[in-house]
Amino acid sequence: MGLLFVLPAALYVAVFQLGPVLYGLVLSFSSYSPISRDGPSFIGWDNYAAIVNDAEFGQAMLVTGRYVLQVLPITVAIALGLAILSNRTFRGVGLFRTGLYVPHVVSLTAVSMIWLWMYSDVGLVNLVLDALGQPGQRWLTTESGALNAVSAMRIWKALGSNMVLLLAGLQTVPKDLYEAARMDGANAWQQFRAVTLPGIRPMLTYVIVMDIIYLAQGFAEIFVLTQGGPYGTTTTVNYLIYTEAFQYNQMGSASAMAFVLFAFIAALTIVALRAGQGRRS
């Protein structure tokens, strides 16, 4: 009887989630082009071996790692600051919270289109610079600037959801702990370190883990803003997988790349979880 209750959900997970993942795993050991009339042919570990020697994949891994590392700390730090600010009672706090959350509601692709214009030669960013008497920049077409420009957009996009989650965490911290800390003579910084941070640690860990998972799979913003350029300096692993699979029809090697990316994300996630648990203990 119990099995019948879980059967629909189990079927859904098996058919639409586990099935494609397993098929992807099989493809990663195969050579397969969707326009070929032959099905996938088993080639063992060749795709994985090719990845090891693939400079482009190595470069994409570095770009992905850099992207995660330069977005994650900034977005979490700013979001935490904004969460602390919006945890106070002041006039217009609801509007403040809503305003910060709006970017999260809009699709990443749509947001990227808007930022594409903002970063263009005659876009908002250069107009502001011009008004300040500064020369305009080519934000998305220089090696030094393109990934930073994408990162700035991603930081802005991630702020709202991170802030709301951290705000929820802040509101679970008992007020009497702050009162006790104040009575012990703790200043604001000491209260933050001894009360706030331990209190929101589970939520902070969750936010960091989810950000790692999302950022390491960065695609839509890259597709819209830079298409991986200039010369591969913004090509993330997920964007490389897209070109490999859908531009070059190399489904096997694209699947292998996807599983290496999965391992990379899993490793980062485990490190983040361990760090969170370690501090708690």
Partner 1 sequence: MRRVQRVPISLIASAVAISTLAACGSNEGEGDSELVVWFPGNTEAEMELVQNSIVPAFEEEAGVDIEVTYVDWPDLGPKLNAAFAAGTAPDVIGHGVAATADLAANGRVLDLSEYLDQMDPTQREDMGSALPGGEVDGTPYMVPLMTTIRMIAYSAADFEAAGLDPEAPPETWEEVREVAEDLTERDGSEISRAGLVVPSDPIGVQQTFGTLLWSNGGEFISDDGNATMDTPEAIEALEFYASLYDGESAVDNTLGAQLPNQPAETPVVTGQAAMQLVNAGDIIKLQEAGPDRDLRLMAPPAFDGAEPGAFGGPANGLMINADTAVPDLAWDFVSAMVEPETNLEYVEALGALPVHASSIDSDYISANPELQRAVEALPSAHPNPNVPGWTQMRDAMGQHLERALHGEVEPADALEQANTEVAGILASGS
Task: Using CB under 8 A, list all residues that contact partner 1.
Answer: 1, 4, 7-8, 33-37, 121, 135, 138, 141-143, 227-232, 243, 246-250
Which CB sits closer to partner 1, 66 or 138? 138
In the bound state with partner 1, the residue whose beta carbon lies nearer, of 20 and 81, is 20
Q: How far is the CB of 32 from partner 1 (least distance, A)?
A: 9
- Residue pair 230/94 in contact (Cβ under 8 Å)? The answer is no
Query: Is 32 within 8 Å of 251 (Cβ atoms)?
Result: yes
Minimum CB distance to partner 1 smaller for 128 or for 168:
128
Q: Pick between residue 146 and residue 164 the one whose CB is nearest to partner 1.
A: 146
CB 224, min distance to partner 1, A: 10
For residue 135, the minimal CB distance to partner 1 (Å) is 6
Shortest CB 109 distance to partner 1, Å: 12
Between 33 and 269, name the residue whose CB sits nearer to partner 1.
Answer: 33
Q: Shortest gap between Cβ of 59 and partner 1 (angstroms)?
A: 10
The secondary element (H helix, E strand) that includes residue 198 is helix 197-216
